[in-house]
Amino acid sequence: MRRGSAERELAERWELETEAKAKAAAEQVGVDAGAAGEPERKAGEEQPKAPAPEQPRAAEEGDAGVSPRPPPALPQDRPKPALARGPGQHGKPRSKGRSCKRSCGRLPDECGALRPVTVDSSKAKTSLDALKISIRQLKWKEFPFGRRLPCDIYWHGVSFHDNNIFSGQVNKFPGMTEMVRKITLSRAVRIMQSLFPQEYNFYPRSWILPDEFQLFVAQVQMVKEGDPSWKPTFIVKPDGGCQGDGIYLIKDPTDARLAGTLQSRPAVVQEYMCKPLLIDKLKFDIRLYVLLKSLDPLEIYIAKDGLSRFCTEPYQEPSAQNLHHVFMHLTNYSLNIHSGNFIHSDSTSTGSKRTFSSILCRLSSKGVDIKKVWSDIISLVIKTVIALTPELKVFYQSDIPTGRPGPTCFQILGFDILLMKNLKPVLLEVNANPSMRIEHEQELSPGVFENVPSVVDEEVKVAVIRDTLRLMDPLRKKRDSQCQHLALARREEPADGEQTGAPDSNTNPEAHLPSICLKQVFPKYAKQFNYLRLVDRMANLFIRFLGIKGTMKLGPTGFRTFIRNCKLSGSSLSMAAVDILYIDITRRWNSMALDQRDSGMCLQAFVEAFFFLAQRKFKLLPLHEQVASLIDLCEYHLSLLDEKRLASSRGGPHPQGGPPGADSPQPAGGNPPPRTCGANRLGHPRHALS
Ligand code: ADP
């Protein structure tokens, strides 16, 4: 019930814009049912999704042809085609308006004009072209070879690690690449599924191989016995793989290739979603760009447009005859580009790669409720990020401990989503390094290759990078207040025949840019989703007891201190039992870990121990309420402890108050204190479960 109304609300608030955009696009492209499918066969080149760090920059992605570009399909909200880099647009000096002269006696550029934002692009790798265009559009300053002085923003093509950054902002979070690997993502979502099965049913049922092979076989067998008509297909995906590498479909669990590679390269096996929405009889997926602007407090933005990548062989439900047809079942661009049926197009609404808005526009013209589609997608994105943030926080405090100099982080993520026939979105995977290439290599004649721009990639990706930079602009506030001052000054003293107060390039340096394509979804919709953030609160407890800065695993002493400070031990849970719990769970998790260098209890092991303690203490409640009650209890005792410490450090009396029995080891009857307590020590408000 909550889900339905929350998503409706999301839809109503945001999708109006999308719909307007889709309608405008429809008018532009003249949507009709057959418009997308005219074959224009051209073969292209393979594109690594997450490019290897030291690869030379070679064109890899895109589906553009070589002919001159048409105007963009969605012009009302977009910049001029970015590769048409006319100097007039970007290099123009500001006009020296009289208004500023009058208000401060100087020319506008001298009138407290802010320095340009500086961007270090020396490690941008394959995103360099799109980044350069974005910086030029913003009139910022690029340092392509780095800079001895600190820059405002560091743009990394691959991962976070760079020990020489002590300030500014970097476009990667520590640990993100590890977090979105297939196994880690599946584990993170599974924890959420155990707490909130309905809310997290957008992720296919998954098992980790080889560890959970027996469980996989047994569970499938059990479901089949209950429902003999169930004829599932499964997809096996190697961990850390990309571009469809090593992926295969099976009908019978025992067909998973356990020998050889699985031992050295674990995999995720997933229920294959066999009823995707088809367009022109083809399966397609959606790549959406999501900006994680901040981890704490959580801030999430979604790009209004993304890409749709098409298969190149008409879809049929999986059967023994077609299981191995990759062009029918896998939507990866890097695979399908090798198909003779791949269609490069200069239009954003036709061919084997299109804008998502062109798909929405087409669906809208057929009467589909695209508001609902968008709201379901927003909900999927927020819930997925909520599943990822707890462990990301652990990585973050380990790489950039509080109090030490370091950059702040943001990151663009690529969400791969499948729309089902019933229009329900399903999460396929999250990419920490989504390709930002805006050109691709095309074979003009046998053996002769040329880099050609890709209209669709450029249209979507340049907007995403440019607007991410705009949102991260460290001078934004100053710039905005300066604009307001200038606008006010002009309004107060209008010159003859001059428009007053209207934003122009004198008062608004972004006047030449379209509105920001990234829309905030969190905290905007925090109220509807905060109740899901239980593991996040567990991570806060975990981090508090980690002890030494820079670690990611909890030692036995830390765990004992957690139990003591939260007053969880007593006659029914001795400290000896606590030690056994720690050893049992930690040992099991460490035997499954890919990286076994560190000993100690990882976050997932802590979560398992926490679930165990919660189930023991609050027997009759559903799991999420048991867990929420235990978190409340822990936070309550820790806040009391903090208050006591604060009072004794000030030499004053111990604070009184709190719920009756607050000083006793546990509230009477084992019930948690009321959930209405204020923010906890970690600055996180308590979220009531409704
Ligand atoms: P990779 O990182 O190698 O691209 P993905 O998880 O994205 O791996 O899977 C590759 C492709 O396989 C997807 O783009 C999608 O077309 C298809 N696919 C993946 N998982 C499923 C699934 N559970 N059901 C249906 N199709 C899937």
Backbone angles phi, psi at 576, to 5 degrees: -65, -40
Residues framing ligand 1 (Cβ under 6 A): 204, 235, 237, 241-245, 247, 270, 272-273, 285, 330-332, 416, 418, 428-429
Q: Whose CA is nearest to atom 22 of ligand 1?
A: 272
Under DSSP, the state recorded for 494 is P
Substitution site in 285, 428, 430, 433 for ligand 1 pocket (most atoms within 8 Å of beta carbon):
428
pLDDT of residue 373: 98
Which residues make Cβ contacts (< 8 Å) with residue 485, sequence separation at least 6? 103
Alpha-helical regions (H) of 530-574 = 534-544, 556-565
Report residue 354 as tokens.
Answer: 């299109």
Nearest to 468 by CA among 233, 117, 146: 117
The pLDDT averaged over each successive group of 10 residues in the chain (690 residues) is 49 48 42 30 32 31 30 34 33 33 40 81 94 96 94 87 80 95 97 98 96 94 95 94 91 80 80 98 98 97 98 97 97 92 91 96 97 98 98 93 84 98 98 93 76 92 98 88 77 56 60 94 98 98 88 95 96 95 95 73 97 95 97 98 92 52 36 39 30
Question: Is the link from the previous residue into 210 a cis peptide, with omega within 30 of 0?
Answer: yes
pLDDT of residue 261: 61
Residue 641 to residue 440: CA distance in whole angstroms: 60
- What ligand 1 atom has the least distance to the C-alpha of 331? 16
pLDDT of residue 105: 40
- What ligand 1 atom has the least distance to the C-alpha of 283? 16
Nearest to 470 by CA among 117, 151, 48, 164: 117
Alpha-helical regions (H) of 473-548 = 476-492, 526-529, 534-544
pLDDT of residue 487: 76
Nearest to 195 by CA among 378, 357, 390, 346: 390
Report residue 607 as tokens.
Answer: 């979560």
- What ligand 1 atom has the least distance to the C-alpha of 309? 14
Nearest to 256 by CA among 223, 221, 208: 208
| 65 in Cβ contact with 455 (< 8 Å) | no
Q: State pLDDT tens for residues 134-147.
A: 999 999 999 999 99
pLDDT of residue 10: 55
Nearest to 59 by CA among 459, 460, 451: 451
pLDDT of residue 630: 98
Q: Whose CA is nearest to atom 20 of ligand 1?
A: 428
